[in-house]
Structure 1
Amino acid sequence: MRSAAAVALALGLLASCSAGTEPQTGDAAQITADETPTMLESAPVEMAAMEPPECLSAGVAYATVGKDAAASTVAWAGSGDRGVLFAPQVDGDVCQWSGELARLAGAGYLVATYDWGASGEVGFQAALDVLKATGAQRVAFVGASAGGTLAAGMADDLGAVAVVALSPPAVYGEVDARAEANQFAGPLQVFSSTDDPQVPAADSAQVPRNDKTSIVTEVSGTLHGIEFMSPDSYHADHVRNVIDDALEAGFGA
């Protein structure tokens, strides 16, 4: 669907508010029912509308971006020139970050996330394409597990202004997020847990730099990745505050 009118029609599908989809993060009600998603004047790549999952609140657009092996489903909302890309865990989907998508869109950011699909890197780039096509001049990355590795490992090459990574492996596939392998100098916040059964805290500790704008927070327990944001997580509010502070620092107060 290549014409501007067709793209606007395809992306006009809105989902209804839903509760109970895990994890529900933030307050989906902050996107009001009369808001519509930012429409594309022209598509960065081929796009097609998709039936949105119930986890997406009203005001969130959902579409397939790209085609064949390069296709990924992307959800986005909000407006403005400050873009925030949320990267899910391996095999994760847009529901993992749906609450934060709504919360930060309501706070004035242009936000996007994606289904992991066959390749997390493909989805990451598709979501970034959508953010830039809808007006983002600068972007920040937030990711869980391998999504955190992508966020930190590609921040320098893709020009991110800030990164928050939850339980990131230091290396995932061909993406090396270790501080020694990257030149990213913006705010970088990493979370890990002492007994994470999937990614040891010592592995995640290789991602942040050794300076006061790059911090690793290690907590007790077995939380991994998106579990930091689950409704029953003791650390969820703190992580949200850290995300907000990192965005404020990265974009400028």
Structure 2
Amino acid sequence: MPLKKGDGFGCLTPGQAKAGSVVFKGTGGAGTAGFYAGRGNTGIVLAHQADGNVCQWKDRALELGKEGFQVLAVNSAGDDVAEVDGAAAHLRAKGAWKLILMGASKGGTAVVRAATVLEPRPDAAVWLSGPTEYGPDDALAAAPKLTSPVLYMAGAEDSPFGDAAVQLSRASTKAPGNRLHEPKGVYEHGVALLDDAKNWSTVLAFLKKYCI
């Protein structure tokens, strides 16, 4: 079925769907749906987890929009990296001259890979509890090629993702501002990490640092 603007994804109000539900093309040409919010010179692409859809990022997208970012949460349906790249192009076409990629779980794996192939390179990337590999995307192989500042965040007790955070951070030898945040005693995964106010503050501070 062809994608249409205005999809509520099961979580948007009619007003939110009308204003922010969009369709864009991934770099492979396939149509992809997403939720767009906010405005500003910095664009943020949000990539969701394997067990969810754009709704996982809805609340954070709205918060980031109020913080002065323009945000596009991708509703993944295929090639994650191509979709992230397409979302980046969509934001740049809307005037974003700085770009940050952020992904949770499989979305985290995708943004690390995308950050090494996107032209121009993103200004920063945020990885939340991603595996080192997911499907065709190999973040551990991509990490040594990463030249953008990066924040790796995973709960220390969220196995094996806490270990993956350490591996990826160590492999990101060319990334300036390579930051590892591994809260102890934490089992929460992906987007759920941001329910903790301290974790969300850490991410938000990182985003604002690289939007200037």
User: TM (normalized to structure 2)?
Assistant: 0.81
Tell me: CA distance 1:180–1:75, structure 2 relative to 1, closer, same or farther (3 Å).
Answer: closer
User: How far apart are residue 183 of structure 1 and its match?
Assistant: 3.0
Residues 40-75 of structure 1: CA deviation (Å, up to 9, x unaligned): xxxxxx974133245336555113334998222111
Q: Which of 161, 166, 184 lines up with 1:205 in the alignment?
A: 166
SS at the partner of 2:89?
Answer: helix
| Aligned residue in 1 for 2:20 | 61
Tell me: CA distance 1:63–1:212, structure 2 relative to 1, closer, same or farther (3 Å).
Answer: closer
Q: Which of 216, 225, 229 lines up with 2:194 in the alignment?
A: 229
User: How far apart are residue 79 of structure 1 and its match?
Assistant: 1.9
What are structure 2's unaligned runs of at least 5 residues?
none
Q: Which amino acid aligns with 1:64?
A: V
Bigger proportion of residues as helix = 2
Aligned residues: 201
Residues 132-177 of structure 1: CA deviation (Å, up to 9, x unaligned): 2211112101110111111122213221111111111122233332
| Aligned residue in 2 for 1:157 | 117
SS at the partner of 2:151?
Answer: strand
Corresponding position: 1:190 with 2:152: yes
More off after superposition, 162-171 vs 216-225: 216-225
Query: For residues 193 and 81 of structure 1, what CA distance do their matches in structure 2 show?
Result: 31
Residues 87-145 of structure 1: CA deviation (Å, up to 9, x unaligned): 10124211111111111111111111111223323432332232122111121011101
User: How far apart are residue 194 of structure 1 and its match?
Assistant: 2.9
Q: Which of 100, 113, 128 lines up with 1:140 in the alignment?
A: 100
Query: For residues 79 and 194 of structure 1, what CA distance do their matches in structure 2 show?
Result: 35
Q: Which of 36, 60, 75 lines up with 1:100 in the alignment?
A: 60
| Aligned residue in 1 for 2:202 | 242
Any conservation in 1 of the 2:11–2:55 contact (CA below 8 Å)?
yes
Tell me: CA distance 1:91–1:132, structure 2 relative to 1, closer, same or farther (3 Å).
Answer: farther
Any conservation in 1 of the 2:115–2:125 contact (CA below 8 Å)?
yes
Q: Which of 7, 12, 22 lines up with 1:51 in the alignment?
A: 7
Corresponding position: 1:217 with 2:178: no
- Deviation above 6 Å: which 4+ runs of structure 1? none
Structure possessing the higher radius of gyration over alpha carbons: 1
Q: Which amino acid aligns with 1:194?
A: A
Q: Which amino acid aligns with 1:116?
A: S
User: How far apart are residue 179 of structure 1 and its match?
Assistant: 7.5
Tell me: CA distance 1:200–1:77, structure 2 relative to 1, closer, same or farther (3 Å).
Answer: closer
CA RMSD of aligned residues (A): 2.8
Residues 3-55 of structure 1: CA deviation (Å, up to 9, x unaligned): xxxxxxxxxxxxxxxxxxxxxxxxxxxxxxxxxxxxxxxxxxx9741332453
What are structure 1's unaligned runs of at least 5 residues?
1-45, 231-235
SS at the partner of 2:72?
Answer: strand
Q: Which of 46, 49, 54 lines up with 1:86 in the alignment?
A: 46
More off after superposition, 144-153 vs 206-215: 206-215
User: How far apart are residue 247 of structure 1 and its match?
Assistant: 1.7
More off after superposition, 114-123 vs 155-164: 114-123
Paired-residue identity, %:
24
More off after superposition, 53-62 vs 109-118: 53-62
Q: Which amino acid aligns with 1:172?
A: Y
User: TM (normalized to structure 1)?
Assistant: 0.69
